[in-house]
Protein backbone atom coordinates (compact mmCIF):
# COMPACT_ATOMS: atom_id res chain seq x y z
CA UNK A 1 0.00 0.00 0.00
CA UNK A 2 1.57 3.29 -1.09
CA UNK A 3 2.26 5.91 1.51
CA UNK A 4 3.92 9.31 1.76
CA UNK A 5 6.62 9.70 4.43
CA UNK A 6 7.58 13.08 5.87
CA UNK A 7 10.31 14.16 8.28
CA UNK A 8 9.00 17.50 9.51
CA UNK A 9 10.60 20.67 10.86
CA UNK A 10 12.16 22.08 7.69
CA UNK A 11 11.17 25.60 6.55
CA UNK A 12 10.16 25.48 2.86
CA UNK A 13 12.27 27.66 0.58
CA UNK A 14 12.28 28.31 -3.16
CA UNK A 15 9.64 28.58 -5.88
CA UNK A 16 6.97 26.22 -7.16
CA UNK A 17 4.93 26.23 -10.40
CA UNK A 18 1.19 25.70 -10.09
CA UNK A 19 -0.53 23.19 -12.41
CA UNK A 20 -3.77 23.68 -14.34
CA UNK A 21 -6.97 23.64 -12.27
CA UNK A 22 -8.60 20.23 -11.76
CA UNK A 23 -12.02 21.84 -11.30
CA UNK A 24 -11.62 23.63 -14.61
CA UNK A 25 -10.11 20.75 -16.59
CA UNK A 26 -13.07 18.44 -15.86
CA UNK A 27 -15.89 20.73 -17.11
CA UNK A 28 -13.72 21.89 -20.05
CA UNK A 29 -13.19 18.28 -21.16
CA UNK A 30 -16.93 17.75 -20.99
CA UNK A 31 -17.60 20.95 -22.95
CA UNK A 32 -15.65 19.49 -25.88
CA UNK A 33 -18.57 17.03 -26.36
CA UNK A 34 -20.71 19.95 -27.53
CA UNK A 35 -19.09 19.95 -30.96
CA UNK A 36 -18.12 17.30 -33.51
CA UNK A 37 -14.46 18.06 -33.98
CA UNK A 38 -11.12 18.46 -32.28
CA UNK A 39 -10.77 20.74 -29.25
CA UNK A 40 -7.35 21.34 -27.70
CA UNK A 41 -6.76 22.05 -24.01
CA UNK A 42 -3.46 23.44 -22.74
CA UNK A 43 -2.07 23.31 -19.20
CA UNK A 44 -4.00 20.10 -18.38
CA UNK A 45 -2.94 18.78 -14.96
CA UNK A 46 -1.73 15.16 -14.76
CA UNK A 47 -4.33 13.86 -12.31
CA UNK A 48 -6.24 10.66 -11.64
CA UNK A 49 -9.56 12.49 -12.05
CA UNK A 50 -8.53 13.69 -15.54
CA UNK A 51 -7.62 10.11 -16.45
CA UNK A 52 -10.98 8.86 -15.14
CA UNK A 53 -12.82 11.47 -17.21
CA UNK A 54 -10.84 10.33 -20.27
CA UNK A 55 -11.75 6.70 -19.57
CA UNK A 56 -15.45 7.52 -19.42
CA UNK A 57 -15.34 9.69 -22.55
CA UNK A 58 -13.33 7.06 -24.47
CA UNK A 59 -16.14 4.57 -23.79
CA UNK A 60 -18.39 7.06 -25.60
CA UNK A 61 -16.22 7.09 -28.71
CA UNK A 62 -14.19 10.19 -27.90
CA UNK A 63 -10.55 10.03 -29.04
CA UNK A 64 -7.62 11.68 -27.25
CA UNK A 65 -4.14 12.63 -28.40
CA UNK A 66 -1.97 13.69 -25.52
CA UNK A 67 1.32 15.52 -25.95
CA UNK A 68 2.10 18.64 -23.94
CA UNK A 69 -1.55 19.47 -24.48
CA UNK A 70 -4.71 17.40 -24.77
CA UNK A 71 -6.48 17.04 -28.12
CA UNK A 72 -10.07 15.82 -27.70
CA UNK A 73 -11.88 14.56 -30.80
CA UNK A 74 -15.61 14.12 -30.19
CA UNK A 75 -16.49 13.58 -33.88
CA UNK A 76 -17.49 9.96 -33.32
CA UNK A 77 -19.37 10.46 -30.06
CA UNK A 78 -21.83 7.59 -29.60
CA UNK A 79 -24.45 6.85 -26.95
CA UNK A 80 -22.93 4.84 -24.08
CA UNK A 81 -23.83 4.84 -20.44
CA UNK A 82 -21.28 6.18 -17.97
CA UNK A 83 -20.74 3.10 -15.79
CA UNK A 84 -21.12 3.18 -12.00
CA UNK A 85 -17.64 1.79 -11.39
CA UNK A 86 -16.14 4.89 -13.06
CA UNK A 87 -18.71 7.46 -11.85
CA UNK A 88 -18.26 6.16 -8.28
CA UNK A 89 -14.58 7.13 -8.52
CA UNK A 90 -15.31 10.62 -9.74
CA UNK A 91 -18.57 12.43 -9.06
CA UNK A 92 -17.66 15.15 -11.53
CA UNK A 93 -18.80 12.75 -14.29
CA UNK A 94 -22.19 14.37 -13.66
CA UNK A 95 -20.73 17.16 -15.82
CA UNK A 96 -21.23 14.94 -18.89
CA UNK A 97 -25.01 15.13 -18.50
CA UNK A 98 -25.59 18.63 -19.87
CA UNK A 99 -23.36 18.31 -22.96
CA UNK A 100 -24.63 14.82 -23.86
CA UNK A 101 -28.24 16.00 -23.66
CA UNK A 102 -27.47 19.11 -25.71
CA UNK A 103 -25.41 17.33 -28.38
CA UNK A 104 -27.14 13.96 -28.48
CA UNK A 105 -30.50 14.32 -26.75
CA UNK A 106 -29.65 11.23 -24.73
CA UNK A 107 -27.58 10.43 -21.64
CA UNK A 108 -27.37 7.60 -19.15
CA UNK A 109 -25.05 8.29 -16.24
CA UNK A 110 -24.79 6.43 -12.97
CA UNK A 111 -26.18 8.54 -10.15
CA UNK A 112 -23.01 9.64 -8.32
CA UNK A 113 -23.23 8.33 -4.79
CA UNK A 114 -22.21 10.35 -1.79
CA UNK A 115 -18.58 10.66 -0.80
CA UNK A 116 -16.59 11.18 2.38
CA UNK A 117 -17.46 14.86 2.69
CA UNK A 118 -21.19 14.62 2.23
CA UNK A 119 -24.29 13.22 0.52
CA UNK A 120 -23.68 15.56 -2.44
CA UNK A 121 -27.04 15.21 -4.15
CA UNK A 122 -27.49 16.31 -7.77
CA UNK A 123 -31.16 17.29 -7.45
CA UNK A 124 -30.47 20.87 -8.54
CA UNK A 125 -28.78 19.64 -11.75
CA UNK A 126 -31.72 17.36 -12.57
CA UNK A 127 -34.49 19.84 -11.79
CA UNK A 128 -32.79 22.53 -13.90
CA UNK A 129 -32.36 20.22 -16.92
CA UNK A 130 -35.97 19.04 -16.53
CA UNK A 131 -37.06 22.69 -16.60
CA UNK A 132 -35.24 22.89 -19.94
CA UNK A 133 -37.36 20.07 -21.30
CA UNK A 134 -35.26 17.01 -20.49
CA UNK A 135 -37.16 13.87 -19.49
CA UNK A 136 -35.18 12.44 -16.59
CA UNK A 137 -35.81 9.10 -14.87
CA UNK A 138 -33.86 7.22 -12.23
CA UNK A 139 -33.48 3.65 -13.37
CA UNK A 140 -31.47 1.02 -11.42
CA UNK A 141 -29.16 3.69 -9.98
CA UNK A 142 -28.73 5.44 -13.32
CA UNK A 143 -29.84 8.89 -14.43
CA UNK A 144 -31.63 8.20 -17.70
CA UNK A 145 -32.18 11.46 -19.60
CA UNK A 146 -33.73 12.28 -22.98
CA UNK A 147 -34.48 15.54 -24.78
CA UNK A 148 -35.37 16.19 -28.43
CA UNK A 149 -34.13 19.74 -28.20
CA UNK A 150 -33.57 21.50 -24.91
CA UNK A 151 -35.41 24.77 -24.46
CA UNK A 152 -34.10 27.86 -22.71
CA UNK A 153 -35.56 28.36 -19.23
CA UNK A 154 -35.37 30.66 -16.22
CA UNK A 155 -33.43 28.66 -13.61
CA UNK A 156 -33.09 29.64 -9.95
CA UNK A 157 -30.61 27.62 -7.87
CA UNK A 158 -31.48 27.32 -4.15
CA UNK A 159 -27.75 26.82 -3.61
CA UNK A 160 -25.06 28.32 -5.92
CA UNK A 161 -23.94 24.87 -7.07
CA UNK A 162 -20.64 24.95 -9.01
CA UNK A 163 -21.08 21.89 -11.23
CA UNK A 164 -24.84 22.55 -11.39
CA UNK A 165 -24.12 25.99 -12.88
CA UNK A 166 -21.59 24.43 -15.26
CA UNK A 167 -23.98 21.68 -16.39
CA UNK A 168 -26.80 24.12 -17.15
CA UNK A 169 -24.48 26.64 -18.82
CA UNK A 170 -23.17 23.94 -21.19
CA UNK A 171 -26.64 22.53 -21.92
CA UNK A 172 -28.05 26.01 -22.57
CA UNK A 173 -25.48 26.83 -25.28
CA UNK A 174 -27.35 24.58 -27.76
CA UNK A 175 -30.87 24.98 -26.33
CA UNK A 176 -33.61 26.82 -28.19
CA UNK A 177 -33.92 30.36 -26.87
CA UNK A 178 -32.61 32.09 -23.77
CA UNK A 179 -31.61 30.55 -20.43
CA UNK A 180 -31.13 32.60 -17.26
CA UNK A 181 -29.32 31.10 -14.30
CA UNK A 182 -30.03 32.99 -11.08
CA UNK A 183 -28.08 32.46 -7.88
CA UNK A 184 -25.39 30.99 -10.14
CA UNK A 185 -21.99 29.97 -8.76
CA UNK A 186 -19.30 32.66 -9.30
CA UNK A 187 -16.14 30.55 -9.00
CA UNK A 188 -13.25 31.34 -11.41
CA UNK A 189 -13.75 27.90 -12.96
CA UNK A 190 -17.22 29.04 -14.14
CA UNK A 191 -15.65 32.00 -15.96
CA UNK A 192 -12.94 29.75 -17.42
CA UNK A 193 -15.63 27.43 -18.82
CA UNK A 194 -17.67 30.37 -20.18
CA UNK A 195 -14.53 31.66 -21.94
CA UNK A 196 -14.01 28.33 -23.70
CA UNK A 197 -17.71 28.08 -24.62
CA UNK A 198 -17.60 31.60 -26.11
CA UNK A 199 -14.56 30.61 -28.18
CA UNK A 200 -16.68 27.70 -29.44
CA UNK A 201 -19.35 30.18 -30.60
CA UNK A 202 -21.66 30.30 -27.56
CA UNK A 203 -23.44 33.48 -26.44
CA UNK A 204 -22.90 33.79 -22.68
CA UNK A 205 -22.81 36.84 -20.41
CA UNK A 206 -22.82 37.44 -16.67
CA UNK A 207 -20.47 34.53 -15.83
CA UNK A 208 -18.67 35.39 -12.58
CA UNK A 209 -21.81 37.09 -11.27
CA UNK A 210 -24.87 35.47 -9.71
CA UNK A 211 -26.92 35.84 -12.92
CA UNK A 212 -25.76 34.20 -16.14
CA UNK A 213 -27.62 34.59 -19.46
CA UNK A 214 -27.09 32.18 -22.35
CA UNK A 215 -28.67 32.59 -25.82
CA UNK A 216 -28.80 29.15 -27.45
CA UNK A 217 -27.27 28.61 -30.91
CA UNK A 218 -27.68 25.80 -33.45
CA UNK A 219 -24.09 24.63 -33.46
CA UNK A 220 -20.76 25.10 -31.69
CA UNK A 221 -17.28 24.75 -33.20
CA UNK A 222 -14.00 23.23 -31.98
CA UNK A 223 -11.76 25.61 -30.04
CA UNK A 224 -8.45 25.73 -28.18
CA UNK A 225 -8.23 26.84 -24.57
CA UNK A 226 -5.61 27.23 -21.83
CA UNK A 227 -6.79 26.07 -18.41
CA UNK A 228 -6.45 28.55 -15.53
CA UNK A 229 -4.04 27.69 -12.70
CA UNK A 230 -5.36 25.67 -9.77
CA UNK A 231 -6.21 28.15 -7.00
CA UNK A 232 -6.58 25.35 -4.45
CA UNK A 233 -3.12 23.97 -5.19
CA UNK A 234 -1.73 27.51 -4.99
CA UNK A 235 -3.51 28.07 -1.67
CA UNK A 236 -2.16 24.77 -0.34
CA UNK A 237 1.43 25.94 -0.99
CA UNK A 238 0.75 29.39 0.48
CA UNK A 239 -0.45 27.77 3.71
CA UNK A 240 2.51 25.36 3.68
CA UNK A 241 4.99 28.25 3.46
CA UNK A 242 3.24 30.21 6.20
CA UNK A 243 3.14 27.31 8.67
CA UNK A 244 6.72 26.10 8.13
CA UNK A 245 8.33 29.57 8.59
CA UNK A 246 9.03 29.25 4.88
CA UNK A 247 9.90 31.67 2.11
CA UNK A 248 8.16 30.39 -1.01
CA UNK A 249 7.25 31.93 -4.36
CA UNK A 250 4.12 30.43 -5.89
CA UNK A 251 4.45 30.86 -9.68
CA UNK A 252 1.86 30.75 -12.48
CA UNK A 253 -1.05 31.48 -10.19
CA UNK A 254 -3.86 34.07 -10.26
CA UNK A 255 -3.77 36.17 -7.05
CA UNK A 256 -7.20 37.57 -7.85
CA UNK A 257 -8.59 34.04 -7.30
CA UNK A 258 -7.15 33.88 -3.78
CA UNK A 259 -8.37 37.07 -2.11
CA UNK A 260 -10.09 35.41 0.84
CA UNK A 261 -7.05 33.27 1.72
CA UNK A 262 -4.63 36.20 1.32
CA UNK A 263 -6.67 38.26 3.77
CA UNK A 264 -6.71 35.44 6.35
CA UNK A 265 -3.02 34.58 5.91
CA UNK A 266 -2.00 38.19 6.51
CA UNK A 267 -3.91 38.04 9.81
CA UNK A 268 -1.79 35.02 10.86
CA UNK A 269 1.32 37.20 10.59
CA UNK A 270 2.54 35.83 7.27
CA UNK A 271 4.15 38.38 4.94
CA UNK A 272 2.60 38.24 1.45
CA UNK A 273 3.85 39.95 -1.69
CA UNK A 274 1.60 39.81 -4.75
CA UNK A 275 2.70 39.94 -8.41
CA UNK A 276 0.61 39.63 -11.58
CA UNK A 277 0.96 35.85 -11.77
CA UNK A 278 2.87 34.98 -8.63
CA UNK A 279 2.60 35.26 -4.86
CA UNK A 280 5.46 35.27 -2.33
CA UNK A 281 4.66 34.02 1.18
CA UNK A 282 7.04 34.35 4.16
CA UNK A 283 5.94 32.53 7.30
CA UNK A 284 6.17 34.20 10.73
CA UNK A 285 8.06 32.67 13.67
CA UNK A 286 4.72 31.73 15.23
CA UNK A 287 1.39 31.68 13.38
CA UNK A 288 -1.37 33.69 15.03
CA UNK A 289 -4.79 32.01 15.27
CA UNK A 290 -7.49 33.26 12.88
CA UNK A 291 -11.16 32.30 12.51
CA UNK A 292 -12.53 31.22 9.11
CA UNK A 293 -15.95 30.42 7.68
CA UNK A 294 -16.17 28.66 4.32
CA UNK A 295 -18.44 30.35 1.74
CA UNK A 296 -19.09 30.21 -2.01
CA UNK A 297 -16.61 32.27 -4.07
CA UNK A 298 -15.35 34.92 -3.39
CA UNK A 299 -15.61 33.74 0.24
CA UNK A 300 -13.09 31.41 1.87
CA UNK A 301 -13.04 28.20 -0.23
CA UNK A 302 -14.22 24.97 1.41
CA UNK A 303 -11.44 23.18 -0.52
CA UNK A 304 -8.84 25.01 1.62
CA UNK A 305 -10.55 24.47 4.99
CA UNK A 306 -8.69 21.28 5.93
CA UNK A 307 -5.32 22.79 4.97
CA UNK A 308 -6.01 25.95 6.98
CA UNK A 309 -7.03 23.81 9.97
CA UNK A 310 -3.63 22.07 9.92
CA UNK A 311 -1.97 25.46 10.23
CA UNK A 312 -4.26 26.49 13.10
CA UNK A 313 -3.19 23.35 15.03
CA UNK A 314 0.20 25.01 15.71
CA UNK A 315 -1.08 28.60 15.97
CA UNK A 316 -0.72 30.85 19.01
CA UNK A 317 -4.30 30.95 20.29
CA UNK A 318 -7.66 29.44 19.55
CA UNK A 319 -9.44 29.54 16.17
CA UNK A 320 -13.01 28.76 15.15
CA UNK A 321 -13.53 27.08 11.78
CA UNK A 322 -17.04 27.03 10.35
CA UNK A 323 -17.78 24.72 7.39
CA UNK A 324 -20.96 25.89 5.65
CA UNK A 325 -20.73 24.10 2.27
CA UNK A 326 -20.49 20.37 3.08
CA UNK A 327 -22.09 18.57 6.01
CA UNK A 328 -19.20 16.24 6.78
CA UNK A 329 -15.95 17.94 5.95
CA UNK A 330 -14.14 17.50 9.29
CA UNK A 331 -12.97 13.92 8.76
CA UNK A 332 -9.36 15.06 8.88
CA UNK A 333 -9.90 16.11 12.54
CA UNK A 334 -9.55 12.57 13.88
CA UNK A 335 -6.25 12.07 12.07
CA UNK A 336 -4.89 15.47 13.15
CA UNK A 337 -5.75 14.54 16.75
CA UNK A 338 -3.51 11.47 16.37
CA UNK A 339 -0.69 13.97 15.78
CA UNK A 340 -1.50 15.80 19.02
CA UNK A 341 -3.89 18.44 17.68
CA UNK A 342 -6.42 19.87 20.16
CA UNK A 343 -9.67 20.19 18.19
CA UNK A 344 -13.28 20.18 19.37
CA UNK A 345 -15.99 19.59 16.77
CA UNK A 346 -19.54 20.71 17.34
CA UNK A 347 -21.68 20.15 14.24
CA UNK A 348 -20.39 22.35 11.43
CA UNK A 349 -17.98 24.20 13.73
CA UNK A 350 -14.50 23.14 14.83
CA UNK A 351 -12.58 24.91 17.59
CA UNK A 352 -8.81 24.49 17.30
CA UNK A 353 -6.61 25.23 20.32
CA UNK A 354 -3.14 25.93 18.89
CA UNK A 355 -0.28 23.87 20.33
CA UNK A 356 3.45 24.50 20.17
CA UNK A 357 3.98 21.36 18.14
CA UNK A 358 2.44 18.40 16.39
CA UNK A 359 3.99 14.96 16.71
CA UNK A 360 4.77 12.58 13.85
CA UNK A 361 2.39 9.61 13.53
CA UNK A 362 0.95 7.22 10.95
CA UNK A 363 -2.31 8.73 9.60
CA UNK A 364 -4.89 7.80 6.97
CA UNK A 365 -6.20 10.12 4.26
CA UNK A 366 -9.95 10.00 3.70
CA UNK A 367 -10.57 12.49 0.89
CA UNK A 368 -8.62 14.70 -1.47
CA UNK A 369 -8.19 17.83 0.63
CA UNK A 370 -7.87 15.92 3.91
CA UNK A 371 -4.81 14.19 2.36
CA UNK A 372 -3.23 17.58 1.73
CA UNK A 373 -3.95 18.73 5.29
CA UNK A 374 -2.22 15.64 6.73
CA UNK A 375 0.85 16.25 4.57
CA UNK A 376 0.97 19.88 5.77
CA UNK A 377 0.75 18.65 9.37
CA UNK A 378 3.59 16.21 8.64
CA UNK A 379 5.76 19.07 7.35
CA UNK A 380 5.76 20.62 10.86
CA UNK A 381 5.45 17.45 12.99
CA UNK A 382 8.36 16.64 15.28
CA UNK A 383 9.89 13.49 16.75
CA UNK A 384 10.07 11.16 13.81
CA UNK A 385 8.37 10.41 10.54
CA UNK A 386 4.74 11.01 9.62
CA UNK A 387 3.32 8.38 7.27
CA UNK A 388 0.20 9.24 5.26
CA UNK A 389 -1.71 6.21 3.94
CA UNK A 390 -4.50 5.90 1.32
CA UNK A 391 -2.78 8.51 -0.83
CA UNK A 392 -4.82 7.56 -3.90
CA UNK A 393 -7.13 10.31 -2.64
CA UNK A 394 -4.26 12.78 -3.05
CA UNK A 395 -3.39 11.71 -6.60
CA UNK A 396 -6.94 12.50 -7.72
CA UNK A 397 -6.35 16.23 -7.34
CA UNK A 398 -2.67 17.08 -6.92
CA UNK A 399 0.06 16.58 -9.54
CA UNK A 400 3.13 15.05 -7.80
CA UNK A 401 2.54 17.03 -4.62
CA UNK A 402 5.34 15.32 -2.70
CA UNK A 403 7.85 16.07 -5.48
CA UNK A 404 6.87 19.73 -5.45
CA UNK A 405 7.32 19.89 -1.67
CA UNK A 406 10.68 18.08 -1.96
CA UNK A 407 11.80 20.71 -4.50
CA UNK A 408 11.15 23.27 -1.75
CA UNK A 409 13.47 21.45 0.63
CA UNK A 410 10.99 19.25 2.48
CA UNK A 411 12.09 15.76 3.51
CA UNK A 412 9.19 13.94 1.90
CA UNK A 413 8.98 10.88 -0.32
CA UNK A 414 6.56 8.24 -1.59
CA UNK A 415 7.00 4.59 -0.64
CA UNK A 416 5.03 1.84 -2.30
Binding residues for ligand EPZ, rule: CB under 6 A, are 22-23, 26, 92, 118, 120-125, 159, 161-164, 185, 302-303, 325-326, 368-369, 397
Q: Identify which of residues 11 and 160 has a Cβ nearer to ligand EPZ in the complex.
A: 160
Beta 3-7 vs 38-42: how paired, if at all? Answer: unpaired
H helical segments located in 38-116 = 48-59, 84-87, 97-104
Rounded to the nearest whole angstrom, what is the least distance from the CB of residue 27 to ligand EPZ in the complex? 7
Report, in Å, the least distance between residue 412 CB and ligand EPZ.
Answer: 21
Distance in Å, CB of 90 to ligand EPZ, minimum: 8
Q: Which of 115, 253, 313, 318 is catalytic?
A: 115
For this structure, is 115 an active site residue?
yes
Mutual orientation of helices 123-131 and 97-104 as an angle, nearest 10°?
20
How buried is 309 (Cβ within 10 angstroms: 0-12 exposed, 13-18 middle, 19+ buried)? buried
Query: Shortest approach of ligand EPZ to residue 96 CB, angstroms?
Result: 12
Q: Name the minimum Å distance from CB 148 to ligand EPZ.
A: 24
Question: What does the buried/exposed string (b/e) look like for 282-301 if buried means 16 or more CB atoms within 10 Å of the residue's CB?
Answer: bbeeebebbebebebbeebb
Contact between 287 and 315 under an 8 Å Cβ cutoff? The reply is yes
Q: Which is nearer to ligand EPZ, 120 or 151 (CB)?
A: 120
Q: What is the dihedral of CA 95, 330, 281, 385, to 10 degrees?
A: -110
The 10 Å Cβ neighbour count of residue 347 is: 9
Is 193 or 381 the residue whose CB approaches ligand EPZ more closely?
A: 193
Q: Determine the Cα–Cα distance for residues 174 and 368; give it in Å rounded to an integer.
A: 34
CB burial of 158-172 (b: ≥16 within 10 Å; e: otherwise) equals: eebbbbbbbbbbbbb
Measure the CA–CA gap between 301 and 178, rounded to whole angstroms: 31
From the CB of 187, what's the least distance to ligand EPZ, in Å? 6
Q: Which is nearer to ligand EPZ, 13 or 120 (by Cβ)?
A: 120
- The distance of closest approach from Cβ of residue 86 to ligand EPZ in the complex, given in angstroms and rounded to an integer, is 15
* Interatomic CA distance for residues 132 and 266, integer angstroms: 45
Measured from the CB atom, is 47 or 412 closer to ligand EPZ? 47
Pick 122 or 243: Cβ nearer ligand EPZ? 122
Residue closer to ligand EPZ, measured from CB, 147 or 184: 184
In 3D space, the residue among 27, 12, 42 whose CA is nearest the CA of residue 229 turns out to be 42
Residues near 97 by Cβ (< 8 Å), separated by ≥ 6? 107, 109, 125, 129, 143, 145, 167, 171
Catalytic positions, written as ranges: 115
Amino acid sequence: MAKIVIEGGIPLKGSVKISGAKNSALPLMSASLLTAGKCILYNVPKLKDVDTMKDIMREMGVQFIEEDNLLIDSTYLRFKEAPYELVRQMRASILLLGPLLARHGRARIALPGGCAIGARPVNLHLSALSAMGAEINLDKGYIDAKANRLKGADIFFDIPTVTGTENVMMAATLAEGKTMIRNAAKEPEIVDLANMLRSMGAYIRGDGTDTIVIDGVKELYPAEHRIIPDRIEAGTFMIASAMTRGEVEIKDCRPEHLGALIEKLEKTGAEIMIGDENIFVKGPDRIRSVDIKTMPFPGFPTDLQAQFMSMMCIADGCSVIKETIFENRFIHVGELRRMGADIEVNGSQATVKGRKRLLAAPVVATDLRASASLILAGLVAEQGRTEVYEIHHLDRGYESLEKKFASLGAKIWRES
